[in-house]
Amino acid sequence: MKHFRELLVQTVGPYLVAVVVLLLLRSTGLAQSVDLLLYDLITAQRPSPSGRDTPITLVGIEESDIQRFGWPIDDGLFCQAFDQLNTAGVEAIGLDIYRDKGVGPKQQCLRDRFRDTPTLVSIFNVASGIGPVPGTPAERQSYNDLSLDADGVLRRDLVHVSGQDEATVSFPMRMVEVATGDRHLRNAMDAGSHQDAWLSADGGGYHKEIEAGLGFQRLLRFREPGSYRFYSLAQLLDGDVPSDAIRNQIVLIGSTAPSLRDLFNVPHTRFRQSEEMFQVSGVEIHANRVATLLDHHNGTLNAGWIMPGWGNLSLILVCMASGTLLGEMVPTLKRSVLVVVALSAGIAGGLTWLLWQHIWVGIAMPTFGLLSMGGAAWLRRGAMSQQHSQQIKQLLGQTTSPAVAQQLWDQRDELLSDGRFEGRQLPVTVLFTDTANFTTVSEGMSPRELMDWLNRGMEVCVPAVTKRGGMVNKFTGDGMLAVFGVPLEQNSQAEAQAAIEAAIEINAGLEQLNKELLQDNEPEMRIRMGIHSGEALVGSMGSAERIEYAVIGDSVNCASRLESLDKHRHEGLLRVLISSTTLDLLDANFRSDLELEFWGPVHVKGRDQPLSVSELRMDIAPGAAGATQP
């Protein structure tokens, strides 16, 4: 049960952490902030058409107008401005100034104009409870409420709220209707038959910013800031505005002076470098809204598209699943990281390109989902790799080659069961060594000196085995048991050849070692070796307190018996006895290069059938010591 709980934590834990991270990114608004930042960047960098190409003219109340006429502007001055505009033949006039309460002695003049002049549109504000100019007919009233995002940036356009009375129509919608006499768009919205890129809950890059039931909202379309035809109120009243310049135009009158604070942060704000923070006046915002409705009326609007909330959620889930699969299934961890990172960059880049084309799909959450779930898979694989590495080290107990270790990792699911190597019958080649005259040598050395002396010999023997894919299964006091062909089944011919090549390299290493021992006034080291091939039972053996990788069978016994056979027949530094079973596995060309001295059939303890044995003569062995196992 404990093992199961640990496995569950290691397997599921990283993914739970990844999901929690994603939920936090979304709930804290960080993911939305990233999406909105990208939206602002694209909006600011994407070329925008000029406002001069629209039939819209702005009349702004600037700081110079306030200094000249005072504030608030007298109603009589507005009456004069309306008369001049109507005389020039404008289509519609929208006053983006609150006048629910009159200013100056000619208040009735302003109210009469709004009551009787069919081109005039008055505003009111629902949120602030500010009414229109008194006496304005319902069909020329409009609300100028704007929808700011939580970060104070104006990105959305509240085009229409259906199910309201005749007076409750958005300022731009009313301006277009008064100018064109066309109510088809509003009627279609009220009937629910008009399709457009409307914002909805979790649509595009928004997360819960758009509440249901708040009317038809779309993303604001911006003309190049500051590009509309523009005149100051003073220029209009002084007669400096040519009639030809405003004939058949939609004229919007509003405040543009910074002191009046009718300025808004827009997507361009953070990307426009200037001495003062870049902001757009409310009257220009409304001009953009009117221009978009005119484009729709003329059939020239590229409405774009906004991914609905369910689509964003589906994409996030697909990316999370892809991150999990790629993190788990790609063979190597390095390649998995490269694939997931490349795919994440591709998705983010592709969705950003779509945004440039006015198609807004949430970018942050799918990208984070792919990376986080891929990262969870990498953590899980890393934890499992470390666990399996520890298991393998514990189970094998001794050294093995990096190549074999990699194979063990790649095939861990086949080899390991409940933390153990399952028992298997494998063809192996066993190499058994023992140090000659060890008892005599040990009598003349201290324990520390003796251990150092033995380790210098093992430093010669062990690398010669492991570099060829062999495994040093155990150290037997002053010798070792090495096995070729475990724990993974290999080519028997290659394993037999690798064992003999290891013996040749060990002989060369002993020659060099003994030169060094002679210089250090230490005893000479001589080794006996037995090599035999055959079947062996391999697997984990032991209890929970102590477990080791066991190699059991006749092949191990025979190699041991060959090593200890006729110890007195030992010439040179290394004596190697090889059974005919091993020699028969060798490639003919390789075997022909070996100098073998035939010892004949030998009866070994514990075996009924004799072994045909040969000694590998090292004095004329081929220069194959540096060769490695293919």
The answer to whether residue 39 is domain-embedded is no
Last residue of a domain, one of 247, 270, 300: 300
Question: Which residue stretches of 105-183 are H helix?
Answer: 107-116, 171-180
Domain span at residue 260 reads 47-300
For residues 383 and 405, membership in a common domain is answered with: no
Does the residue 171 lie in any domain?
A: yes
Q: What share of the chain is helix, strand, coil (3-state, %, to 5)?
A: 45, 20, 35
Q: With residue 595 as reference, give the H or E element that holds it.
A: none
Residue 40 domain-assigned (yes or no): no
The reply to whether 346 and 443 lie within a common domain is no
Residues in the chain with pLDDT values less than 70: 1-10, 211-213, 385-423, 540-548, 619-630
Alpha helix segments (H runs only) across 231-308: 233-237, 243-246, 282-298
In which element (H, E) is residue 428 found?
A: strand 424-435
Tell me the whole-structure pTM to 2 decimals.
Answer: 0.69
Q: Name the CA radius of gyration of the chain, rounded.
A: 44
31 in any annotated domain: no
Write down the H helix ranges in 397-491: 402-410, 412-415, 438-443, 447-466
In a domain? residue 331: yes
**Contact present, 103 and 73 (Cβ < 8 Å):** yes
For residues 510 and 574, the answer to whether their CB atoms sit within 8 Å is yes
Q: Are residues 237 and 136 in the same domain?
A: yes
Q: Are residues 466 and 528 in the same domain?
A: yes
Distance of CA 495 to the CA centre of its chain: 44
Q: How many CA atoms lie within 13 A of 597 on its CB side?
A: 13
Instruction: Verify that 140 and 193 share a domain, yes or no.
Output: yes
The domain that holds 571 is classified in CATH as 3.30.70.1230
Comparing C-alpha atoms, which of 75, 130, 134 is closest to residue 106?
75
Helices within 28-138 (DSSP H only): 30-45, 63-69, 75-88, 107-116
User: Do 438 and 541 fall into the same domain?
Assistant: yes
Task: Report if residue 455 sits inside a domain.
Answer: yes
Total structural domains within the chain:
3
**Which SS3 state, helix, strand or coil, does residue 494 take?**
helix
Residues 6+ apart with CB under 8 A from 565: 530, 577, 602, 604, 613
Output the pLDDT for position 153. 96
Q: Are residues 206 and 318 in the same domain?
A: no
Same domain, 377 and 280: no
Which of 283, 300, 317 terminates a domain? The answer is 300
Residues 416 and 514 grouped into a single domain: yes
Domain boundary among 300, 335, 369: 300
In this prediction, residue 370 carries a pLDDT of 96
CB atoms within 10 A of CB 597: 12
Residue 568 resides in a domain: yes
Q: Can you read off the two tokens belonging to residue 597?
A: 């001295």
Question: Are 590 and 484 contained in the same domain?
Answer: yes
Do 471 and 449 belong together in one domain?
Answer: yes
pLDDT single digits (tens) 107-135 = 999 999 999 999 999 999 999 999 999 99
Structure token pair of residue 583: 């020699």
Residues 165, 245 within the same domain: yes
Q: Is residue 137 a part of any domain in this protein?
A: yes
Angle between helices 184-191 and 171-180 (to 10 degrees): 130
Query: For the segment 22-56, what is each residue's pLDDT rounded down to a tens digit?
Result: 999 999 999 999 999 999 999 999 999 999 999 99
